[in-house]
Structure 1
Amino acid sequence: MKTTINASVKMPPALHARIVSLAETRKRTPHALMVQAIEAFVLREEQREALRQEAMAAHEDFLLTGLHVTAKEADAWLAELEAGKDVEPPKCHV
């Protein structure tokens, strides 16, 4: 059995009207649209936070080791990948 929590969201009347209109067009309930929108927002923000944490860890690793690739090296590698070539990433150096 799914457990749900009732929550109240205060919003401007104009936004509520837009949600109701869209729900009618989509043949869904306003509640269903709002749950879908909140789920999409939370997923996007979780992914953004995971990327931020990964970047912070990579920066910390760089500070500890000094290992890096230049922007030119990274750009050249990404261009190869974009062209459909399966190439190894450039080697890190100090």
Structure 2
Amino acid sequence: MARSIQLDDDLNDRIQHIAGAQHRTPDAIVRDAIAQYAEREEARERFGQEALDSWQHYEETGLHLTGKEVRAWLDTWGTDHEGTPPDCHK
């Protein structure tokens, strides 16, 4: 579906400049910007839903890790002694 948007002169000039510097069309710059925005917003929605799902799981089971446990595990990342994730507990 085609969309039409109105840009103020300043933003239009900025997009024209970027397009010229990258040897691309202004439409390609705008399409890429909108696609990146949509991807960010979809990721934000997924993150929010995962947080709600995690909270619901915690409320149902009581299983959790403390911040200290998670930090201790993360501190092993990238070392010769990289650990496995700790087990959740009540």
Report the alpha carbon displacement of residue 86 of structure 1 after superposing the two structures with TM: 3.8
Report the alpha carbon displacement of residue 78 of structure 1 after superposing the two structures with TM: 1.0
Aligned residues: 90
1:30 correspondence with 2:29: no
With over 3 angstroms needed to count, the CA separation of the structure-2 counterparts of 1:85 and 1:9, relative to structure 1, is farther
Structure 2 length normalisation: TM-score? 0.90
SS at match of 1:80: coil
How much is the aligned-residue C-alpha RMSD, in angstroms?
A: 1.4
1:15 correspondence with 2:14: no
With over 3 angstroms needed to count, the CA separation of the structure-2 counterparts of 1:77 and 1:28, relative to structure 1, is same
Structure 1 length normalisation: TM-score? 0.86
Aligned-partner Cα distance in 1 for 2:23–2:70: 48
Q: Which moved more, 1:77-86 or 1:62-71?
A: 77-86
SS at match of 2:76: helix
* Letter in structure 2 aligned against 1:64: E
* Letter in structure 2 aligned against 1:59: W
- Listed as ranges, the matches of 1:19-58 within 5 Å are 19-58=15-54
Aligned-partner Cα distance in 2 for 1:13–1:45: 26
Structure 2 unaligned segments of length 5 or more: list them.
Answer: none
Aligned-partner Cα distance in 2 for 1:89–1:17: 51
Match of 2:86 among 79, 82, 90: 90
| Identity across the alignment (%) | 37
